[in-house]
Amino acid sequence: MVWTLQAPTALTESQFVRWSKLLEERTGIQLSAQQKALLQSQVTMRMRELGYSDYNQYYQLVTDGLSGLMEWSVLVDRLTVKETSFFRHRPSLEYVRRFIQNRINNRELHGSFDIWSVGCATGEEPYSLAMVANDCFELAGLPPYYGITALDISSAALAQARTGIYNARKLEQVQPDEVLRYFERTDDGQFQVVKKLRDRVCFSHGNVTRISAMPSVSMDVIFCQNLLVYFRRWLRRDILNAFAARLKPGGVLIIGLGESVDWEHPGLKRVVGSEVQAYIRDQRQEQ
Ligand SMILES: C[S@@+](CC[C@H](N)C(=O)[O-])C[C@H]1O[C@@H](n2cnc3c(N)ncnc32)[C@H](O)[C@@H]1O
């Protein structure tokens, strides 16, 4: 690593356009003009670490073949917003609880119950889903035939998610009985999600904007919150349509409130109510 004392100058308007275009092409994330400072500070910080002072040279590095892809994976982690928390939107998670309970009560569970957490960041969302699913299966005295696939574009976030280790502050929205049942204290005073939940969550690296290249596995629940907001309207619509195609008949898609207000799909019905934004796939539809 070469260190330099020469600080990069401010990004020019055309450099900002070039970098934000690259980010959007590769991740779907659209930056507003106000986010120029964020882009600049993250790119500059990384350039400093590598000893670069010229944005164009660093751009060359990032866009150059395989080594460019490795560098890109570091940079993308710096440029994505990974804000998240356990039970970030309780009403959506309580909706999933009722959905699973209804399936169990109506004896509609056939095979495994599959959940997809898209844009899972450091794991708080898929582990919250695992707690809810586990509650339902345990209460019904059923073996835990559920699985959660959790996808994110940030390798660093996924590495942290796989450990399942969080500090006490991260557990603020977890109820005391959930902490007791689903976390263990580590030697250094942190909290680790218990193994029986970690075993049910499979973290995978991927880019939701390339969803058509992903294996087409059908899901009972697709949970995607606080990700689509970063995308253009047409891209949100395409991704939502692709989610719809990946729902099992009777499955549910849950997004963040207000994240795509005008989207409709002929095979899905919007759930009535203002607390969650959810869409159920028609039971009779064949895959
Ligand atoms: C703000 S966090 C939301 C986390 C969680 N869903 C929640 O609501 O708390 C957005 C996450 O989406 C991920 N992300 C951004 N672009 C993505 C893409 N194209 N494909 C997959 N994940 C992406 C980011 O790395 C980040 O972890």
Residue 260's pLDDT is what?
83
The residues facing 273 across adjacent strands are: none
Residue 2's pLDDT is what?
47
- Do 263 and 237 contact (CB within 8 A), yes or no? yes
CA distance 31 to 15: 13
Closest CA to 89 of 256, 279, 236: 256
Residue 271's pLDDT is what?
95
Give the tokens for residue 118. 């898209």
Least confident piece of the model among 5-19, 140-154, 197-211: 5-19
Strands 268-270 and 277-281: antiparallel
Residue 287's pLDDT is what?
46
Residue 7's pLDDT is what?
63
CA distance 67 to 130: 36
Torsion of the alpha carbons at 244, 245, 249 and 250, rounded to the nearest 10: -10
- Do 246 and 216 contact (CB within 8 A), yes or no? yes
pLDDT average, residue stretch 110-132: 97
CA distance 109 to 89: 25
- Mutation probe of ligand 1 site: the residue of 227, 238, 239, 276 with most atoms within 8 A of C-beta: 227
What spacing in Å lies between the alpha carbon of 119 and ligand 1's midpoint? 3
The count of other CB atoms within 10 Å of the CB of residue 58 is 21
Sign, Cα dihedral of 195, 98, 104, 109: negative
Residues lining ligand 1, Cβ inside 6 A: 27-29, 80-84, 88, 119, 121, 125, 151-154, 157, 207-209, 225-227
**Residue 1 — pLDDT band, cuts 50, 70, 90?**
very low
Give 120's DSSP letter: -
Residue 73's pLDDT is what?
94
The residues facing 62 across adjacent strands are: none
List, in order of start, the domains of the chain with CATH numbers.
13-79 (1.10.155.10), 90-281 (3.40.50.150)
Give the tokens for residue 157. 């976030």
Q: Would you say residue 8 has pLDDT above 80?
A: no
Give the tokens for residue 67. 């080594």
CA distance 55 to 46: 11
Q: Would you say residue 3 has pLDDT above 60?
A: no
Q: How many residues does the chain have?
A: 287
208 CA closest ligand 1 atom index: 20
Give the tokens for residue 273. 């109510």
In the three-class reduction of DSSP (H, G, I as helix; E, B as strand; rest coil), residue 22 is classed as helix
Helix, strand, coil proportions of the chain in percent (round to 5)?
45, 15, 35
Protein residue with least CA distance to atom 13, ligand 1: 119
- Do 225 and 254 contact (CB within 8 A), yes or no? yes
What spacing in Å lies between the alpha carbon of 161 and ligand 1's midpoint? 13
Residue 286's pLDDT is what?
53
Stated pTM of the model: 0.94
What spacing in Å lies between the alpha carbon of 5 and ligand 1's midpoint? 34
What spacing in Å lies between the alpha carbon of 187 and ligand 1's midpoint? 30
Strands 247-255 and 183-185: unpaired
**Residue 5 — pLDDT band, cuts 50, 70, 90?**
low
121 CA closest ligand 1 atom index: 27
What spacing in Å lies between the alpha carbon of 105 and ligand 1's midpoint? 33
The residues facing 268 across adjacent strands are: 281
pLDDT average, residue stretch 101-120: 94
What spacing in Å lies between the alpha carbon of 208 and ligand 1's midpoint? 9
Give the tokens for residue 256. 């963040």
- Mutation probe of ligand 1 site: the residue of 26, 72, 116, 153 with most atoms within 8 A of C-beta: 153
Q: Would you say residue 147 has pLDDT above 70?
A: yes
Give the tokens for residue 171. 């557990």
Strand positions, DSSP E, the chain: 113-118, 146-152, 165-166, 183-185, 191-193, 201-205, 219-224, 247-255, 268-270, 277-281
